[in-house]
Amino acid sequence: MSGRLQGRRAIVVGGGQTPGATTGNGRAVVLSFAREGAQVLVVDRDLDSAEESAELVRKEGGTATAHRADITVEDECAGILDAALAVLGHVDVLHNNVGVVPAGRTEDLGAQTWRQGFEVNLTSMWLTCKAVLPHMRQRRSGAIVNISSMAGLLAGGEAIAYTTSKAAVHAMTRSLALEYAPHGIRVNCIAPGMMDTPMGVDAPARAEGSSREDVAAKRAALVPMGHQGTCWDVANAALFLASQEAAFITGTVLAVDGGFTLTSRMS
């Protein structure tokens, strides 16, 4: 540990973990931030899962507190800031890591599925930013890191709700970055590619009735570097963007994808 976030206070939204799954992006970010000195408020819809992440931090000697919130509810997003101020004192970093994968061709996609994709992938992220930004603006300091997807950089006819909502996250990130740069606040986005995570591998394996190993091998074969990334690749990128090492970086969409978006389209 080098203390890259020493003394910093961070909110990690989606910092829990799917029960029984391998470590995902949210939990990896919680652990990485804490290992680099941050005090963390771990936010998740599943309080037990958030508490598991917080307990892992505490076992390593770090400081973390769990908080339950449904970020599709505006009042609960406001409550995240209240909880953070109560346990952390102030907020330096907001990390947004919640998403769903609405699938379906345009003609087959239901309006409710479309709306849910935007509600979870975009609107909820806007609500957490909206809740925390006045506090950061008052302090004239802050870093926001949004997790999106390579899907927002590619076309995907059978995943139109997903690709469109993720592209909207990129646009929102750039707009927030421009709006709040004069107030000392940086807003950036990470677009993960083929990652060996619960959402990337476990969920498709269950849906297809395939083994995890088969799905992972198929995904790895699509990546120019020859393998999938891991949650720690995403966490390392988030750590960089949240730290002072990225003090002059705002409004960027950082692809963490092993070169996938250079050669491919969504399938």
Question: Phi-psi bin for 62: left (phi > 0), alpha (psi -120 to 50), beta?
Answer: beta
pLDDT at 42 over 60: yes
What does the pLDDT average to over 236-244?
Answer: 98
pTM of the model: 0.93
Average pLDDT, the chain: 93
What pLDDT is stored for residue 21 in this prediction? 56
Q: What is the mean pLDDT of residues 161-190?
A: 97
Which residues lie closer than 8 Å to 13 by C-beta, 6 or more apart?
26, 43, 44, 69, 71, 80, 94, 95, 96, 97, 98, 128
Domains of the chain and CATH, by start: 9-191+236-248 (3.40.50.720)
Query: Which is the catalytic residue, given 33, 126, 162, 180?
Result: 162
Is 162 one of the catalytic residues?
yes
226-251 mean pLDDT: 97
Q: Which two tokens stand for residue 45?
A: 């819809």
Q: What is the pLDDT of residues 88-109, one digit of tens each?
A: 999 999 999 998 888 888 898 8
User: Region 9-13: what's the mean pLDDT?
Assistant: 98
Residue pLDDT, tens place only, 158-174: 789 999 999 999 999 99
